[in-house]
Amino acid sequence: MLRSPSKVKGASQHKNPERPVATVREIAIATEAMDEQYRLAVPLACYCQLRRSEVLCIQRKHIDLRHSTLRVEQAWTLSGGEMHLGPPKTQAGRRDVPIPANVVSLLEDHLERFAGIGDGGWLFPGHGDSVISARTLDRQWALAREVIGRPDLHFHDLRHTGLTLVAITGATTAEIMAAGGHESQAAAIRYQHATRERRTAIADALAAMADGRIEPLSPTKGHAGARHEQRTHPAKRRRNSRAECRTTRTRCTMEDDIGKEDVSLLVSALALRKAQPRARLKT
């Protein structure tokens, strides 16, 4: 050994390889490729950022359709060669998860057709009073990922994809930590890596500023977040509205050129709105 690892910068640090991320279109196709009784597991893992162990321990009592929330308060853990149901490993893992509208409709249908009976009924019931095994879910996912041509995607990568999408919307580190049930900032910060969608949206905004199509907003005036609003003549508002429509059509055309499989219109639009400084159409 020529040099001690303790004297080599970064030698003692282990860097995990970057996990693959699915596109929104791939998630939709993979969901349809699953058998009906297991289909809901895919959007739950992605859009609710759940771990596999959290998906498999959901019971009716954890679901609040009225407020579109899901309570995560237990998880499966492996101990002594057997699976045991208990609380999450950390306090941060115990959390209330907002359920997106696109998942609520799927959840309502699943509860009516496939979920167990009563408050203690499993969302993914197996034989008798048991829940399906992780192996059963993995087999289903293995078939679905072959359909979308992504053999590199593991089921856990659905959660990684969901947290990456959360970061793309401009969420803060604290918000990413809350979504993923993380206790450490390091676990959340890695999801704030720059993605191609976000870089493209920011580049589009910079180009628009450079050629004068949009201009930065001046700093917000007032205290405690109060906004200074100016009255706009109705005719001017109509011109602004038409200009916004033209800008939206141009942005969609640019994203279509990049490819719908790689760029979600929703994600790019959110990234553009979150780009700093905020921008408005120049009148």
Give catalytic residue positions.
51, 156, 159, 182, 191
How many CA atoms does the CB half-sphere of 148 hold within 13 Å? 24
Dmax over Cα atoms in the chain, in whole Å?
Answer: 77
**Rounded Cα gap, residues 104 and 235, in angstroms:** 41
Coil/strand/helix, residue 243: helix
Question: What does the angle CA 195 – CA 198 – CA 199 come to, to the nearest 5 degrees?
Answer: 85
Buried b / exposed e over 108-142, threshold 16 CB at 10 Å, is eebbeebbbeeeeebbbbeeeeebbebeebeebbe
CA neighbor of 84 nearest in space, from 93, 92, 70, 74: 74
**Rounded Cα gap, residues 27 and 158, in angstroms:** 8
**Rounded Cα gap, residues 170 and 34, in angstroms:** 31
Q: What is the DSSP string of 99-123?
A: PPHHHHHHHHHHHHHTSPSSTT-BS
